[in-house]
Chains A and B, each alone.
Chain A
Amino acid sequence: MYCMGGLIPGSAIGKDRPPDNLRRPIPGTRRGLGIGAEPRRHRLVSLAGAPGAAVLGLLLLVALLAPLLRRYDPMRMEKEAALASPSPRHLMGTDQFGRDIFSRLMWGTRSALAIGGGATILAALAGGPLGLWAGFRGGWADTAIMRGVDTLLAIPPVLLAMSLVAVIGPGSQNAGIAVAVVGLPQFARIARGGVLAQKEQEYVQAAIAVGARGLRILFRAIAPNILSPILVLVPVMVARAILLEASLSFLGLGTQPPQPSWGLMISESREYMFNAPWYGIFPGVAIGATVLSLSAVSDRVRARRHGG
């Protein structure tokens, strides 16, 4: 529950946790008070930490080396081999134009990681400083910025991204921008919370005492100290960005054909469900593996930070 604490402003959730000695199982028994002993909640993720990092590394490698690894040009059409089933020649079969699905999947890794990562960096670069400034200045600046941020949060993510794309037009780059706007509030909130917590610390008073002022305090003294909670947020945000971008592409609002993209491949595969069910399966597995590996890495980083 405590993981939700920061998510729900002003709610009672996450407080009132019983002291740890009550949560531990009674020695010699497996179940403590008989019901609901401390669960090994992190077992799955902590075990998944190392493989998660390995999978993520593999995906990055594929994304970087896609041009070297490929056996076929992802755009090359081969009409006579359309919708071929998986075989040693085409490991994952071919699509409706006879393009090699495996090659397109590798190319999709490239664009998914690039858009997901790029959108997250953009969100952090825009949202982080906004939150820093809001927390540091307080008063009117704080109220105005955080009102705007809360308004963005009040719009369901998919809806916000879709309406932004409606205005700026479809395409992979614009989808990335829309995804970045959706992620921006998270970074702003974390940064602001960090500043508010650090502002009263003694070292900030010390910096003021030696004559530092304004932006110098913010960027030289405070910012380095709140970098780590912001960085912890990154893997989760990349995972969300990849999911959201895939959704946009699925709806035809993100990456446009003939470019390879996981969401678009799933969307196109629907027409050939009868003849080529594998066509849509593989890109989904790729998305799932990417998101899982990112969240496993994120959980691991988080656990480290809390001394786990």
Chain B
Amino acid sequence: MEAVLTIFLASLLVFAMVAALPGDPALIILGDRATPDQLQALRSYLGLDQPVGKQYARWMGRIVRGDLGHSLINGIPVAGIVRRALPLTLQLSVWALAVALVIAFPAGVLAATHPRSHLATALGWYHASALAVPVFWLGVVLSWFFGVVLRWMPPSGFVPLLQSPEEWARSLILPAVTLGAGIGSGLARVVQASLEDVLHQDYVRTARAKGLPARGVVWHHALRNALIPVITVLGIQAGFFIGGAVITEAAFALPGLGSALWRAILTRDYLVVQSIVLVSIAGFVIINLCTDVLYGWLDPRIRYR
């Protein structure tokens, strides 16, 4: 219910952004060189002659039926743009998530179990730099170092999986590390903090007292319970993930949803911007909904009203 309301309010906002363009939206969207016929066609398509409420209802009605509108630049249906670009963005996200998890678990567990070690200090520096280094700069530096200096990977661009699996993997590694490193740091801190809390619970002490080795207690008993907050934070981090994906795609010239949005903004293709933003918000809200459900399922003590 909450999720539906959020998507509804967000859609109002996205709709209002274009509806609130000062002056005649049709003129702003098409520019000065549009013919009166074109202007009239766009006005009636947007329903500009009708009350705002009705305009919104028509727009929403079309979107619910899967018609995301057409690009004003070249007339391509937006649904087609999304369908073509989304798989790449999903592939990038899965890779980046894998990178983030591979970083987060060892880093978080080691920092929690060895709180005063040099390793913990080093991880502290990693977290600090993950906080400070912009995603796009990391992308530029990685693509320079591994793509130009070492020539291990292509500095930018994308090769589809079906064309060449090996090239596909090579073209996605750098973007995945770029996007995953920052999120990995955030997750590692959650794993660490959550594990630290769990390690002080009575049952951990009992397990230690009856003679179980520390490693078994950490990995088998404690980590399981420490996982629950990690799932929630993963949902919250999804927002940074989506934003980071847009920037990463732009930095590595990957033809994903983020690049499509970026191009649409630069060419002032408002209807495409509107639809892609709405799709992304819906995706974000749905991810959060899923993590909430997963949360309740993993920990039966939590029940939603």
**Contact assessment for A167 and B18 in the assembled complex, using a CB-CB cutoff below 8 Å:** yes
Q: How far is the CA of A150 from the CA of B13 in the complex (A)?
A: 12
Within B110-126, the residues touching A (CB, 8 Å) are 111-113, 115-116, 120-121, 124-125
List chain B residues, Cβ under 8 A from A148: 9
How many of chain A's residues touch chain B, expressed as a range? Answer: 35 or more
Instruction: Say if the beta carbon of B132 comes within 8 Å of chain A.
Output: yes
**Contact assessment for B247 and A274 in the assembled complex, using a CB-CB cutoff below 8 Å:** no
List chain A residues, Cβ under 8 A from B21: 167
Quote the shortest CB–CB distance from B60 to chain A (angstroms). 16
Q: How far is the CA of A166 from the CA of B90 in the complex (A)?
A: 24
Within B11-35, the residues touching A (CB, 8 Å) are 13-14, 17-18, 20-21
List chain B residues, Cβ under 8 A from A266: 134, 136-137, 140
Instruction: Say if the beta carbon of A22 comes within 8 Å of chain B.
Output: yes
List chain A residues, Cβ under 8 A from B112: 36, 39
Instruction: Say if the beta carbon of A8 comes within 8 Å of chain B.
Output: yes
**Contact assessment for B131 and A292 in the assembled complex, using a CB-CB cutoff below 8 Å:** yes
Which of B67-75, B94-102, B196-204 contacts its partner? B196-204
List chain B residues, Cβ under 8 A from A187: none
Q: How far is the CA of A253 from the CA of B267 in the complex (A)?
A: 11
Q: Which of B196, B238, B244 contacts A39 (CB 8 A)?
A: B196
**Contact assessment for A156 and B240 in the assembled complex, using a CB-CB cutoff below 8 Å:** yes
Q: How far is the CA of A247 from the CA of B250 in the complex (A)?
A: 11
**Contact assessment for A166 and B270 in the assembled complex, using a CB-CB cutoff below 8 Å:** yes
**Contact assessment for B6 and A150 in the assembled complex, using a CB-CB cutoff below 8 Å:** yes
Q: How far is the CA of A253 from the CA of B246 in the complex (A)?
A: 13
List chain B residues, Cβ under 8 A from A13: 194, 229, 232-233
Quote the shortest CB–CB distance from B151 to chain A (angstroms). 11
List chain A residues, Cβ under 8 A from B236: 7-8
Instruction: Say if the beta carbon of B144 comes within 8 Å of chain A.
Output: yes
Q: How far is the CA of A33 from the CA of B217 in the complex (A)?
A: 12
Beyond A35-B199, A280-B141, A288-B132, is A162–B148 a contact (Cβ under 8 Å)?
A: no
**Contact assessment for B281 and A159 in the assembled complex, using a CB-CB cutoff below 8 Å:** yes
List chain A residues, Cβ under 8 A from B232: 8, 11, 13
Q: Which of A30, A252, A284 contacts B140 (CB 8 A)?
A: A284
List chain A residues, Cβ under 8 A from B92: none
Total B residues in contact with A, Cβ cutoff 8 Å: 79
Interface code A149-167, partner B: CB below 8 Å = 1, 0 otherwise?
0111011111100111111
Instruction: Say if the beta carbon of A23 comes within 8 Å of chain B.
Output: yes
With both beta carbons as reference points, the residue of chain B lying nearest to A161 in the complex is identified as B243
**Contact assessment for A287 and B265 in the assembled complex, using a CB-CB cutoff below 8 Å:** no
**Contact assessment for B200 and A36 in the assembled complex, using a CB-CB cutoff below 8 Å:** yes
**Contact assessment for B131 and A295 in the assembled complex, using a CB-CB cutoff below 8 Å:** yes
List chain B residues, Cβ under 8 A from A252: 266
Instruction: Say if the beta carbon of A40 comes within 8 Å of chain B.
Output: yes
Beyond A7-B236, A40-B116, A243-B134, is A273–B143 a contact (Cβ under 8 Å)?
A: yes
Instruction: Say if the beta carbon of B290 comes within 8 Å of chain A.
Output: no
Instruction: Say if the beta carbon of A136 comes within 8 Å of chain B.
Output: no
Instruction: Say if the beta carbon of A209 comes within 8 Å of chain B.
Output: no
Instruction: Say if the beta carbon of A73 comes within 8 Å of chain B.
Output: no
List chain B residues, Cβ under 8 A from A43: 121, 124
With both beta carbons as reference points, the residue of chain B lying nearest to A247 in the complex is identified as B247
List chain B residues, Cβ under 8 A from A295: 128, 131-132
**Contact assessment for A158 and B244 in the assembled complex, using a CB-CB cutoff below 8 Å:** yes
List chain B residues, Cβ under 8 A from A17: 197
**Contact assessment for A292 and B128 in the assembled complex, using a CB-CB cutoff below 8 Å:** yes
Instruction: Say if the beta carbon of A197 comes within 8 Å of chain B.
Output: no
Q: How far is the CA of A270 from the CA of B229 in the complex (A)?
A: 39
Interface code B54-69, partner A: CB below 8 Å = 1, 0 otherwise?
0000000000000000
**Contact assessment for A166 and B268 in the assembled complex, using a CB-CB cutoff below 8 Å:** yes
List chain B residues, Cβ under 8 A from A11: 229, 232
**Contact assessment for B243 and A156 in the assembled complex, using a CB-CB cutoff below 8 Å:** yes
Q: How far is the CA of A99 from the CA of B115 in the complex (A)?
A: 48
List chain A residues, Cβ under 8 A from B239: 155-157
**Contact assessment for B247 and A151 in the assembled complex, using a CB-CB cutoff below 8 Å:** no
Instruction: Say if the beta carbon of B205 comes within 8 Å of chain A.
Output: yes
Instruction: Say if the beta carbon of A1 comes within 8 Å of chain B.
Output: yes
List chain B residues, Cβ under 8 A from A7: 236
Q: Which of A35, A158, A287 contacts B242 (CB 8 A)?
A: A158
List chain A residues, Cβ under 8 A from B218: 35
Q: How far is the CA of A277 from the CA of B201 in the complex (A)?
A: 51
Q: Which of A18, A40, A154, A267 contacts B284 (CB 8 A)?
A: A154
20 contacts between A and B (CB under 8 A): A18-B200, A33-B205, A33-B208, A35-B113, A44-B128, A151-B13, A156-B243, A158-B247, A159-B261, A159-B281, A165-B265, A166-B17, A246-B134, A247-B243, A250-B251, A266-B134, A266-B136, A280-B137, A283-B137, A291-B132
Nearest 7 A/B pairs, CB to CB: A158-B243, A39-B115, A36-B199, A284-B137, A1-B193, A156-B239, A291-B132
Listed in ascending order, the chain B residues whose CB lies under 8 Å from chain A are: 6, 9-10, 13-14, 17-18, 20-21, 111-113, 115-116, 120-121, 124-125, 128-129, 131-137, 140-141, 143-144, 148-149, 155, 190, 192-197, 199-201, 204-205, 208, 214, 217-218, 229, 232-233, 236, 238-244, 246-247, 250-251, 261-262, 264-266, 268, 270, 273, 277, 280-281, 284-285, 302
